[in-house]
Amino acid sequence: MPAPQCASCHTARAALRRPRSGQALCGACFCAAFEAEVLHTVLAGRLLPPGAVVAVGASGGKDSTVLAHVLRELAPRLGISLHLVAVDEGIGGYRDAALAAVRRQAARWDLPLTVVAYADLFGGWTMDAVARSTAGSGRSRACCTFCGVLRRRALEEGARLVGATHVVTGHNADDMAETVLMNFLRGDAGRLARGGGLGSPGEGGALPRCRPLQLASQKEVVLYAHFRRLDYFSEECVYAPEAFRGHARDLLKMLEAARPSAVLDLVHSAERLALAPRRPARALCQACALLDGLNRGRPRLAIGKGRRGLDEEGPPREPQPSRPPTSEPVPDF
Ligand SMILES: Nc1ncnc2c1ncn2[C@@H]1O[C@H](COP(=O)(O)OP(=O)(O)OP(=O)(O)O)[C@@H](O)[C@H]1O
């Protein structure tokens, strides 16, 4: 049976059915619809005002590749300028190849690119050194906790370096729904309450951040990359396989099979949640608390598995001399 006609232009043959609506579209009309929806997300949420200098967190993966491409298409209408910021976490056998993809994108799209490295920002610590330091049971989970916090800080530093006024990341609806599930499963009411919405207005002096793809499904991000023939890096991080997120992802797939709207329902429920009162400011920010634990050779304390961790409050600690990760810290996992 021949493919139906595109429901939008009525001239080309449809190349896909949109996963959520079932609408049959040709590749060109699908890409135009996808871009229009991201434009709507940005305008309706007032995420990026005219004149904004936007640092795009560029990992080389499909989401940030699609985000950078879509924002480049929309930039003239939004009146914004873009700067790619890539973070080199120091993950051997993974990040170098991903960074090569970012460099190709920057050259092809004629966008400025700045690379910032954990090793330079965090007193010599790379993710490989952190992984060695936290080796033992639960190693990979700890890696993702450290990496998430440090990457957030690194992106902020990179964005400031290039004079950005806003930071955007490529998180899509599936990423957000997984995060909501993870926070529920961990009973982390504070993160649930803080994680909703399309971004943060830039509290505590931080640059405003947003996620323009937050309402786009992973399947459609992949379809957009396919029809726009985008070149991206698709391998999984070497530390990801045992991360807790994998369980949330499996659970989400089962939920979605039973209830196709489950992903967006979870995203929207998080937007409306206000479970926990705001926590008082910590003596140390998350990144500094983690680095402090690493430098003491006690990473377990920093992620909340010790007596006074990331999620516990306490009086400020005496500053410790920074210890470069040349010798193996005593693992306490
Ligand atoms: N090394 C990095 N440098 C700059 N930004 C990053 C980096 N890693 C992640 N990000 C930003 O954080 C977002 C979420 O990253 P994460 O790795 O959690 O998810 P992802 O779905 O695999 O994203 P992507 O497909 O873009 O890699 C990315 O889309 C990107 O904007």
| Better-predicted residue by pLDDT, 207 or 313 | 207
d(CA 299, CA 134): 6
Atom 31 of ligand 1: nearest residue by CA position: 169
> Mean pLDDT throughout 84-92?
96
> How buried is 102 (Cβ within 10 angstroms: 0-12 exposed, 13-18 middle, 19+ buried)?
buried
- Residue 330: the pLDDT is 22
Q: Is 63 annotated as a binding residue?
A: yes
Listing DSSP states for 60-73 in one string gives SSHHHHHHHHHHHH
Quick one: pLDDT at residue 329? 28
Q: What is the pLDDT of residue 230?
A: 97
Task: Examine the pLDDT at 261 and tell me if it is beyond 50.
Answer: yes
Residue type, 84: L
pLDDT value of position 198: 62
* 58 labelled binding-site residue: yes
Give the model confidence (pLDDT) of 172-217 as tens digits. Answer: 999 999 999 988 888 887 777 776 666 676 667 899 999 999 999 9
pLDDT for res 299: 72
pTM, two decimal places: 0.84
Instruction: Work out the average pLDDT over 220-246.
Output: 90
Q: Which atom of ligand 1 is nearest to the CA of 232?
A: 25
Q: Residue 249 — very low, low, confident or very high, per pLDDT cuts 50/70/90?
A: very high
Calculate how far, in angstroms, residue 293's C-alpha sits from the geometric centre of ligand 1.
25
**What was the pLDDT predicted at 270?**
81
Does 15 appear as a known binding residue?
A: no
Residue nearest to atom 23 of ligand 1 (CA): 63
Predicted local distance difference test score (pLDDT) of residue 145? 83
A 10 A CB-CB count for 22 gives 9
Distance in Å, CA 297 to ligand 1 centroid: 28
DSSP string for 86-146: EEE---TTTHHHHHHHHHHHHHHHT--EEEEEHHHHTTT--HHHHHHHT-STTHHHHHHHH
Residue 5: DSSP 8-state: B
Give the residue whose CA is nearest to atom 5 of ligand 1. Answer: 57
Domain count, the chain: 1
Q: Is residue 22 part of a domain?
A: no
| 175 in a labelled binding site | yes
Q: What is the dihedral of CA 148, 152, 270, 48, to 10 degrees?
A: -150
Q: Which of 127, 117, 112 is nearest to 154 (CA)?
A: 117
Task: Give residue 158 CA to ligand 1 midpoint distance, Å.
Answer: 14
| CA–CA separation, 333 and 138 (whole Å) | 7
Q: Is the pLDDT of residue 263 over 90?
A: yes
Please report whether residue 62 resides in a domain.
yes
Which segment of 101-115, 120-134, 317-331 scores lowest on mean pLDDT?
317-331
Position 208 scores a pLDDT of 95
Contact (Cβ atoms closer than 8 angstroms) between residue 98 and residue 233 = yes
Least confident of 129-133, 224-228, 282-286: 282-286
Residue 302 has pLDDT above 70, yes or no: no
Distance from residue 2's CA to the centre of ligand 1 (Å): 39
Contact 272, 196 (CB under 8 A): yes
Residue 187: its pLDDT value, please? 85
Name the closest-CA residue to atom 20, ligand 1: 63
Residue 82: predicted pLDDT: 98
Q: Output the pLDDT for position 245.
A: 86
Q: What is the CATH number of the domain that holds 138?
A: 3.40.50.620
174 is an annotated ligand-binding site residue: no
Ligand 1 atom nearest to 99, measured from its CA: 1
- Does position 131 have pLDDT exceeding 60, yes or no? yes
Dist. CA 161–CA 94, nearest whole Å: 25
**What was the pLDDT predicted at 11?**
96
The boundaries of the domain holding residue 182 are: 40-272
Is residue 138 annotated as involved in ligand binding?
no
Looking at residue 213, what is its pLDDT?
97
Using CB distances shorter than 6 Å, the residues near ligand 1 are 57-59, 61-64, 86-87, 89, 151, 155, 169-171, 175
Taking alpha carbons only, the member of 200, 173, 167 closest to residue 34 is 173
Q: Which of 42, 37, 45 is nearest to 54 (CA)?
A: 42
pLDDT band at 286 (very low <50, low <70, confident <90, very high): confident
Which residue's alpha carbon is at the smallest distance from atom 27 of ligand 1? 61
Confidence (pLDDT) at 231: 95
- Residue 281 in any domain: the answer is no
SS3 state of residue 81: strand
| CA dist 82 → 72, 100, 185, 247, 274 (Å) | 7, 19, 37, 35, 33
Any domain includes 323: no
The pLDDT mean for the chain works out to 84
The answer to the question of residue 306 being in a domain is no
170 is in an annotated binding site: yes
User: What local confidence, expressed as pLDDT, does residue 79 receive?
Assistant: 98
Interval 20-70: pLDDT, tens:
889 999 999 999 999 999 999 999 999 999 999 999 999 999 999 999 999
This complex has an ipTM of 0.97
Considering the domain boundaries, does residue 213 fall inside one? yes
Indicate whether 255 pLDDT > 50: yes
Is the dihedral angle over the CA atoms 59, 61, 63, 67 positive or is it negative?
positive
In a domain, 3, yes or no: no
Ligand 1 atom at shortest distance from the alpha carbon of 62? 25
Residue 156: the pLDDT is: 96
What pLDDT is attached to residue 159? Answer: 98
| Residue 56 within a domain | yes
